[in-house]
A and B are shown apart, each in its own frame.
Chain A
Amino acid sequence: MLGYAGVSVGYQGRPVLTGVDLTLEAGQRLALVGPNGAGKSTLIKSLLGLVPVLDGTATVLGRAPAEARDQVGYVPQTDALDAGFPVTAAQVVMMGRYRRIGWWRPARGADRQAVRAALDLVGLADRAGKHFGTLSGGQRQRVLLARAIAAEPKLLLLDEPFNGVDVVSQEAILRVLRELTATGTALVLSTHDLTVARDLADIVCLVNGRQWAAGPPATTLTTDNLRLTYGGHAIDLADGRTVLVDP
């Protein structure tokens, strides 16, 4: 599904993140954990072939990342989008079908059906006709998730899907992600929420300029590893847990 070996990624020849070794199988969930500016978004963009791989070997679905885009879904951060843009939730989800529809032909019944099903899955079927900008932050995030689902990807990438998201939407998103992986979709998401990483992921990858650790949550989210990744921002509590201060 995903194979990174000794990979460095970055812009204009300058690496942002180095030493990435990852493999991911169908139906597995990978959480990229690290502070802001650690290179999480850059790594996700490299999986889409939008940021070049400077070193090492990278394959997505057995192909070069840029050539696998038609099988890869991407959920961007909602705050990058203009809330005043005149589109409805259903129109946003339909964008996930555009590459299938092509340039000329109008949307078919199958496309509209996929849009309805995706909105239904994220629990927003009743908001289909609502203007995107009138939805809450969490609902917008769910609409973008529905857009990625409508494209029927084998690999789904989510960039900080829980930023500025209310509890209801977070629960809805977590439920959908579990359902999707149960049907074989592989998942990569970036987060700085250790609880989410621990609860959701099969593999956790700690990054900050380089990959510091990767593996199952129980053996990876250790105090030592968090200290390596977050430096002085990782504080040990008396009960043995580690918390992050202003990461």
Chain B
Amino acid sequence: MLLDKSILELLTGYKNKSIDPVDVINEAYGQIDKYSSKLNTLITVRDKQEVLDFLKTLDSSLPLYGLPYILKDSYATTELRTTCASKILDNYLSPYDATVHKKLKEAGAILIGKGNQDAWGHGASTENSDYGMGKNPWDPTRVVGGSSGGPAAAVATRMCAFAIGEDTGGSIRNPAAWNNISGLRVTYGRVSRYGCVAYASSMDTVGPFGKTAADLAIILKVIAGPDVYDGTSAPHEVPDYNLELTKTPNKLKIGIAPEMFGAGLDQEISNNAQDFASKLAELGHQLIDISLPVAEISDAAYYILAPSETSSNLGRYDGIRYGNTRDLFTQESMRRIMVGTYELSSGYYDAFYRKALKIRTLLIKTFQKAFEQCDVILLPENPIMPPKLGDLISDPLANMLADLYNTPVSLIGSPSLVIPSGFHKNGLPIGVQLVGKKFSESLLLGLGHQYQQVTEWHTRSPQL
């Protein structure tokens, strides 16, 4: 398939006329027609003729010329409705574009659809969607992961050249691992959140999904940078991530914390991460023991702060200026809103919300200490393999534990790259997390690229 090719190969092919972007777009629509409604991958698909007409208007020298992409349905777009997978926004057509969408459009990429997700980002499975439970392309009886499950599956099934997810407590990382693709949670503030439906504003981040770390580098360069419409966007200069890929040294110190490989972690996932570490050692990197006794407290603190923030953020959906009435929230969203309301109420604020804010300081200090000893921290991604559809939906505890290795990174604002690292004996893919200091995306992508140069896990796609 043309869409098995990397972004660089596609762009080079467009330039030397060996590949016609029309063929790539046709191929993407072919995959959408075949699999999207079967797997509940996309919520809304753009009219193909409109896309092909738009392609004709584009300047072929643009950096992402002609590349078809999928956005998580949490991004405001003027071309397609934005539901955030909730019937509350079933017919909502935004009068403005999210900054990430605007930047991609201006770079020549073409939006072709909006991906399924847990409504409002509430979940780690895409089961809590009002548009059908997202199914895993590697085994459709299992969850696709989430909350950005649709965009992740769209990359895995070659419905697009790349996709944009949103990660608050693991929503890019979890489905990247369960779909055998690469995904990047960026440093908080690296990419503008303007036009992204807010879940927990102090942790929401906008990031790319792709087939390789190199693909992510190309996309990140386009979407990163300060934005006057987002006061939390970072003023830091945007490096040429693609050029930096090959500059990453092969003598990095890789920190591994035994506490992060304890109870609750699937044994094969644990072994897989160890194998991954050995491969990095073969490449010349040095493995270092560090201490990070933070998984449980992070997850608990996250599940105080995120519901508190979401109870406030979702207060705006009153059905007056836009959208439908609040009875249409899913049970999962109602639980989170009410938990947050309780934690922020007088008498409980100190015990829950303020306590969690202090835990956040403790985490930042613990990670600072760890980063004095190493450049990158290797963590498992998911503690378990994707459950059967419906299993997580009625089990809030299991749902929260799915984010065990994700939430520490979310709370400290660091970037984290997830890349494919092998397969479980049940045939499903496994991924690992590479976590760095703030604004170390170049280093993480470079390390991921080194690994992908000598392995082939990332080249496999699901046999549908």
Q: Do A and B bind each other?
A: no
Report which A residues bind B (CB closer than 8 A): none
